[in-house]
Structure 1
Amino acid sequence: MLAELIVSGVIISAIYALATTGFTLLYGVSGILNLAHGTTLATAGIVAWYVAGRSDLGLVAALAAGIAAGVAAGLLTFWLVIRPLQRNFELSESDEHVFMLVATLLWTIILQEGLASIFGDVSVSLPQMIPGVVDILGVRTPASSVFVAIIAWLVIGLLWFYVSKTKSGQILLAASINPRGLVLCGINLGRVHLLVWALYGALAGFAGVLVAMILGVSPSSGLDLTATAFSIVVLGGLGSVGGTLIAANLIGFIETATAYTLGPSLRSLPALIILVIVLYFRPQGLFGRR
C-alpha cells in the first residue's frame, strides 16, 4: 500500500503543481486571489471532455479546446469581474480586495450553474492518452497517468523558461516585484495584467484537462479544486512559486493518503484543515514573507 501511495501521490502532486502555478503567478503579478480558479479548471476539463467525444482528432482537439476554454474563462473573469472593480475609484485599496474576493466567489457560482445547465451536473473524465501499464515500485500504474505527470512538470519548466528568459516574461516578473517602477519605464500595466490573465487561463486550461484525465471533473467540483489550490498557495506562501511547488507535493501526498484511508469523498478535508492551521499560526506561509 505504501508504494501505491507514493506513486499516486507523485502523479497527483504533479497535477496540483501545474494547477496552482498559474494561480500563484496571477497573484504575484496582479495581487488578485481568484476564487473562481477551481471552476476555471472544471470548465476546461468539461469542455475538453465534450470536444473529445465529438471530434475525430480526439485528445488533441480536446486539449486545444480545454486550453481555449481556460483562456476564455480567465479573460472573461478579468473583463467582467476584475476590471470594473479596478476602475471604481471610489473603493479604497482594502475594500477593492474584499470586493474582488466576493465578486470572484459569486462569479464561480455563476459559472458553476452555467456549466450544470449546459452539460449537466455529473462527473466526467477524459480517456487515457496512451494505453498500457508500467511497473513502478512494484505497482502497476497506467502509462497515461505517468505521462500526464511528466507533461505537467514539462509545462512548469516551459513556464520557468518563459518568465526568466523572454522579454515579456521578465516584464511579468518585474511587475510582481515593482509595478510602479514598470509604469515609470513607460510600460502599460493594464496590458501586463491582460497578458498575465491570458497566461493564467492557458495554464489553468491545460491543468483542467489533466485533472479531468486523472480525477474527473464536474461543475460542482470547482469549489473543492479552489479550496485545494488556495490551501497550497497559502501553505507555500502567497506569490512564492517555489513554495507553491513544494506545498503542492505536500498536499498531493496528504490528499492521496486520505483518499486511500478515509475515502475519496474526504480527499479535500486535510487541505482545508491545513489552511486553517497555517492562517492561524503562520499566515505568510512556509516560504512567504510578512
Structure 2
Amino acid sequence: MTELLQMALTGFNLGLMYALIAIGLTLIFGVMRIIQYAHGEMFMLGAFTLYYWNAEFGLNYWAGVGVSAVVIFCFGAILQIVLFRPLHGKNILYSLAVSLGLVLIISSSGQILFGTTVKGIPSAVTGGVLLGGTYLSYERMVISAVSAALIIALWFFLRRTTTGLAIRAVAEDPDTSALQGVKTRRIHWIAFGLGSAMAAIAGCMMGTLLSIVPTMGFLATIKAFMIVIMGGLGSVFGALIGGLILGMIDSVVTTTISGDVALILSFVVIFLILVFRPSGLFGQDWE
C-alpha cells in the first residue's frame, strides 16, 4: 500500500507537469489550428535558460523560472509573427513543414551552443517528510503546487480577462470574432507565446528531475501530442485530465514493469479512447 501511494503521488506530480506542456500545445492548436511540432523545443529552451541563469551564473532559481517564461514567450511570439502568420489560412501541411524544420534547426543549434554533455539544474528545495511510510520530497510538492497554480491561473485568465475571453472567442469562431472587433492577429501571437511559455515553465520544473540535453524536446513533444489527442484537440481541461492519466501510467507501470510497457500501454489507452470517443475525452471544450 505504501509503494502504491508513492507511485500515485509521483504519477500526480508527473501528470501536472505533462499537463503544463500539453495545455500550451492545445492552446496554440485551438487558436491557430496549426500543428506545432517544435513545442518540445520550447520545453528544452526553457530548461536551458534556467540552467544558465541558475547553475552557471548562480542567480535565483525562481527568478530564473520567470525569466525563462518571458524569454520563451517572446521567442514564441516572434516565431508566430515571422514564420506562421504568413501561412495562416493556408493548407495545414505548410505549417507542419515549418514546425518540423524548426525542430531540426533548434535542436541542432542547441547541440552547437549548449554542447552534448548532460547537464542538470540544482534542486531549489531540499528535504522531505515521511507520512505513513511514504516519503514526500519538498521539491516534488513545490513543483506540484506551482504546476497546479499555473493551470488554475490559466483557467482564470481564459474565463475572467478580456484577452482570455478573446482567445476563447477566436478559438470558437475566428471570423465572427474578427467582425466583432477582436484583433485576431494580436490574439494569435499572444496564444502562441503563452503556449510556448507554458512549455518553458514545464521544462524548468522538470529540469531539476531530469537530465538536460538539446534533444530532450522530442520526448516532450510526443508526450504532449499523446495527451492532447487523448483529452481532445483544443480542450484545456482535456489536456489536464490526459496529463494526469499519462502521468499515472508512466509512474505505476514504469515502476512495476518497465518504461517500454508504459509507453505501449499509453498508446493502447489512446487507441481505445479514439475508438469510443473519436474527438477525445472532451472534444473542443474551452470551458
TM-score, L = length of structure 2: 0.89
Deviation at 1:57, TM superposition (A): 2.5
Deviation at 1:68, TM superposition (A): 2.9
- Indicate yes or no: 2:216 matched with 1:221: yes
Match of 1:286 in 2: 281
3-state secondary structure, aligned to 2:167 = helix
Whole-Å separation in 2 of the counterparts to 1:56 and 1:217: 17
Match of 2:152 in 1: 157
Matched letter for residue 227 of structure 2: I
Q: Give matches, 1:239-254, under 5 Å.
A: 239-254=234-249
Report if aligned partners of 1:55, 1:61 keep a CA contact under 8 Å in 2. no
Taking a change above 3 Å as real, the CA distance of residues 43 and 196 of structure 1, as seen in their structure-2 partners, is same
3-state secondary structure, aligned to 2:216 = helix
- Aligned pair partner of 1:236 in 231, 234, 246: 231
Match of 1:259 in 2: 254
Deviation at 1:156, TM superposition (A): 0.8
Matched letter for residue 186 of structure 1: G
Whole-Å separation in 2 of the counterparts to 1:103 and 1:225: 19
Taking a change above 3 Å as real, the CA distance of residues 72 and 186 of structure 1, as seen in their structure-2 partners, is closer
Whole-Å separation in 2 of the counterparts to 1:174 and 1:69: 27
- Aligned pair partner of 1:128 in 106, 123, 127: 123
Q: Give matches, 1:172-187, under 5 Å.
A: 172-187=167-182
- Aligned pair partner of 2:15 in 13, 16, 40: 13
Report if aligned partners of 2:42, 2:200 keep a CA contact under 8 Å in 1. yes
- Indicate yes or no: 2:202 matched with 1:207: yes
3-state secondary structure, aligned to 1:18 = helix
Deviation at 1:182, TM superposition (A): 1.0
3-state secondary structure, aligned to 1:220 = coil
- Aligned pair partner of 1:69 in 71, 75, 83: 71
- Aligned pair partner of 1:139 in 134, 152, 164: 134
3-state secondary structure, aligned to 1:129 = coil
Report if aligned partners of 2:46, 2:69 keep a CA contact under 8 Å in 1. yes
Report if aligned partners of 1:211, 1:217 keep a CA contact under 8 Å in 2. no
- Aligned pair partner of 1:79 in 78, 81, 94: 81
Whole-Å separation in 2 of the counterparts to 1:137 and 1:110: 49
TM-score, L = length of structure 1: 0.89
Taking a change above 3 Å as real, the CA distance of residues 266 and 120 of structure 1, as seen in their structure-2 partners, is farther
Whole-Å separation in 1 of the counterparts to 2:137 and 2:87: 46
Report if aligned partners of 1:68, 1:205 keep a CA contact under 8 Å in 2. no
Taking a change above 3 Å as real, the CA distance of residues 125 and 133 of structure 1, as seen in their structure-2 partners, is same
Deviation at 1:217, TM superposition (A): 3.2
**Contiguous gaps of at least 5 residues in structure 2:** none
Matched letter for residue 124 of structure 1: K
Taking a change above 3 Å as real, the CA distance of residues 31 and 153 of structure 1, as seen in their structure-2 partners, is same
Whole-Å separation in 1 of the counterparts to 2:141 and 2:96: 36
Taking a change above 3 Å as real, the CA distance of residues 269 and 220 of structure 1, as seen in their structure-2 partners, is farther
Task: Name which of structure 1's ranges 201-210 and 245-254 shifts more when overlaid on structure 2.
Answer: 201-210
Whole-Å separation in 1 of the counterparts to 2:71 and 2:261: 29
Matched letter for residue 242 of structure 1: F
CA distances 1:32-51 after superposition (whole Å, capped 9, x unpaired): 22111111101110121121
Q: What is the RMSD of the two structures over their aligned residues, measured on CA atoms? A: 2.3
Task: Name which of structure 1's ranges 195-204 and 230-239 shifts more when overlaid on structure 2.
Answer: 195-204
Matched letter for residue 67 of structure 1: A
Deviation at 1:257, TM superposition (A): 2.3
CA distances 1:135-193 after superposition (whole Å, capped 9, x unpaired): 24522122011101011000111111111111111111111112111111122211110
Taking a change above 3 Å as real, the CA distance of residues 158 and 77 of structure 1, as seen in their structure-2 partners, is same
Match of 1:197 in 2: 192
Deviation at 1:274, TM superposition (A): 4.1
3-state secondary structure, aligned to 2:215 = helix
